[in-house]
């Protein structure tokens, strides 16, 4: 069942990002960053009576304090990336998180990749190249230059690097609490911390909340479902297995890019995303 839950988490993750991009046409990005977490709270609170509340220590709270500024930065940058570039050219770059994890794991833990990890790195790089392979008619280096020209892709690369750090910190917080408790409480805290940022940055745009209320409720629901299925799946199997399956969200996002936003060159972006997923699996599973 964990595979089903991981796939559901991937689908709801991609759906959340697609609806977020759609709402960015009429909503300020800082306001939307706050609203999507705020509207997830009621759905997350509904789960609390059904879980065990773990005993928390100082390590848990210290880790939360370290996580929050990094997570908020990553969330805001990802929203800006979605606003700046096509969905199918932003979300796939989250595949670089496992690649960056190799770097951060080496610096923090002294770990180095084996042969399958090295092949995985190469496949992720080839996948990123394939996302813009149509531009090779202008030169073999043009797909790489296209990444540099696409602001959303660059921002999402930064997000992927930040996630390589928060993944390690999140694991520490889970070890000092529980997966489900951490997933619920952490996102509720995030919503409250984002409140003053939204008020300061978007006080002139608060009138946008009324017209888009239904969309924000949907985004909050899908974000909550993503979190819930994520933490359920991660308690049932190896973390690396679950994250690898969840990264099929890249394919869902490319599909949404075509269906909702009529984005072009979808075939090459599907191929690039597929290569990235294989690379992730080689890094994570073998």
* Contact of 124 with 276, CB cutoff 8 Å: yes
Q: What percent of the chain has pLDDT over 70?
A: 89
Q: Length of the chain in residues, anyone?
A: 286
pLDDT, position 194: 93
Domain boundaries, position 209: 2-285
Which band of pLDDT confidence, cut at 50, 70 and 90, is reported for residue 140?
low
pLDDT tens digits, 35-56? 999 999 999 998 888 888 899 9
Q: What percent of the chain has pLDDT over 90?
A: 30
Distance CA 87, CA 101 (A): 23
Which band of pLDDT confidence, cut at 50, 70 and 90, is reported for residue 172?
confident
First and final CA of the chain: distance in angstroms? Answer: 22
Q: Identify the H or E element spanning 30.
A: helix 29-38
| pLDDT beyond 90 at 159 | yes
Mean pLDDT of 153-164: 89
pLDDT, position 41: 93
Distance CA 97, CA 205 (A): 33
Question: How many domains does the structure of the chain reveal?
Answer: 1
| pLDDT beyond 70 at 108 | no
pLDDT, position 49: 86
Q: What is the pTM of this model?
A: 0.82
| pLDDT beyond 70 at 245 | yes
Question: How far is the CA of 20 from the CAs of 59, 104, 125, 169, in angstroms?
Answer: 33, 29, 27, 26
Which band of pLDDT confidence, cut at 50, 70 and 90, is reported for residue 265?
confident
Return the minimum-mean-pLDDT range out of 2-6, 100-104, 222-226, 250-254: 100-104
């Amino acid at each position: 069942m964990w595979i089903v839950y991981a796939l559901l988490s991937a689908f709801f993750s991609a759906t959340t990002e697609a609806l977020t991009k759609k709402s960015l046409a009429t909503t300020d990005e800082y306001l939307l960053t706050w609203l999507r977490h705020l509207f997830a709270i009621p759905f997350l609170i509904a789960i609390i009576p059904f879980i065990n509340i773990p005993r928390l220590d100082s390590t848990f709270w210290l880790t939360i304090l370290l996580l929050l500024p990094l997570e908020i930065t990553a969330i805001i940058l990802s929203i800006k990336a979605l606003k700046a570039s096509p969905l199918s050219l932003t979300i796939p770059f989250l595949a670089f998180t496992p690649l960056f994890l190799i770097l951060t794991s080496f610096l923090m833990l002294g770990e180095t990749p084996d042969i399958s990890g090295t092949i995985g790195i190469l496949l992720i790089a080839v996948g990123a190249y394939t996302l813009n392979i149509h531009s090779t008619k202008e030169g073999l280096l043009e797909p790489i230059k296209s990444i540099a020209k696409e602001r959303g892709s660059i921002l999402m690369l930064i997000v992927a690097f930040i996630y390589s750090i928060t993944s390690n910190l999140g694991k520490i917080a889970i070890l000092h609490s529980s997966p489900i408790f951490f997933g619920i409480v952490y996102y509720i805290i995030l919503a409250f911390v984002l409140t003053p940022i939204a008020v300061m940055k978007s006080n002139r745009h608060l009138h946008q909340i009324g017209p888009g209320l239904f969309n924000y409720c949907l985004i909050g629901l899908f974000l909550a479902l993503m979190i819930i299925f994520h933490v359920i799946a991660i308690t049932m199997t190896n973390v690396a297995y679950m994250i690898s399956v969840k990264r099929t969200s890249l394919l869902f996002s490319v599909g949404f890019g075509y269906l909702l936003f009529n984005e072009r060159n979808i075939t090459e972006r599907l191929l690039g995303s597929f290569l990235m997923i294989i690379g992730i699996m080689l890094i994570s599973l073998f």
